[in-house]
Amino acid sequence: MTLETLSTNRSHGGTQGVYRHASDTTGTDMTFAVFVPDHAPGAKLPVLWYLSGLTCTHANVMEKGEYRAACAQHGIIFIAPDTSPRGEGVPDDPEGAWDFGLGAGFYVDATEAPWAKNYRMRSYIEDELPSVVLRNFPMADMTRQGISGHSMGGHGALTVALRTPDRFRSVSAFSPIVAPLQCPWGEKALSNYLGADREPWSHYDACALIEGGARVADLLVDQGEADSFLEDQLKTHLLVEACEKAGQKAEIRMQPGYDHSYYFISTFMAEHVAWHAERLKA
């Protein structure tokens, strides 16, 4: 598999790169960003994955997330994939809605036409992209991985980790969609990507997974109290209730005055990186 380097830039004592490859999983070219701190020859560095939210690409967190100084300080590789397949022939919402289709892959493997051919972000994130990283970034220690994300990406981070708990030592999220089975964004995406039968939807719902017995070692969530999506779409209280009922270790912090934007994410990003670093270096 050929990896094309689109750009590299020096930043905070490391290298921020953007790369593209032809994905067998999605049937499209896929772009992702990687920040690698400076390190001694032969050193192995832990990996922190970051999954972005609705309408985003790899570029949103790369340009506004303010993670590089913290990752350089703690010696952590930061990887930011795209949020959906893209390119000629990839289907999009026929009405041009921003919460479905391009930029809104919801980290699922779609089973319904016309989405099933390309919208396979679960397999891309869980299987193909880690293999690409392993082959092309020899300094990445794939035995020490953490995962984080924002909004739809927070949903992705939680569900990927809950389904594959042996892979991740640490899991965090900013403003995650915690119960897609119980919110308009989730119901729209899952019904279209997966069909009317709601049973398969539960594999993509953090609260349902926890209620079904899935666990992670530890969990950190930050949620802004001034987030306009909190009540109808994010429903953080459902995650609090699910974790308390199941005995899932979690620190879920409500942050007064903060909204859903990258002003919020960038404020707490360094804390999340440090939190992951403590667990990835143990």
Closest alpha carbon to 65 in 234, 264, 211, 242: 264
- Which residues on neighbouring strands pair with residue 49, listed in sequence order? 79, 147
Spatial neighbors of 138 by CB under 8 A, at least 6 apart, are: none
Residue identified by tokens 């002003």 is: 263
Active-site pick, 170, 227, 272, 276: 227
Residue 21 annotated among the catalytic residues of the structure: no
Lay out the sheet containing 140-149: strands in order across: 4-10, 14-22, 29-37, 77-81, 45-51, 140-149, 168-174, 220-224, 251-255
- Backbone φ and ψ for 19, nearest 5 degrees, come out as -135, 155
Measured CA to CA in angstroms, residue 113 lies from 120, 136, 281 at distances of: 12, 33, 43
Structure tokens belonging to residue 166: 């042996």
Instruction: Indicate the SS3 state at residue 278.
Output: helix
Residue 228 annotated among the catalytic residues of the structure: no
Measured CA to CA in angstroms, residue 20 lies from 142, 161, 197, 226 at distances of: 20, 25, 35, 36
Active-site pick, 23, 52, 148, 151: 151
What value does the CA radius of gyration of the chain take, rounded to a whole number of Å? 18
Residue 74 annotated among the catalytic residues of the structure: no
Positions marked catalytic: 151, 227, 260
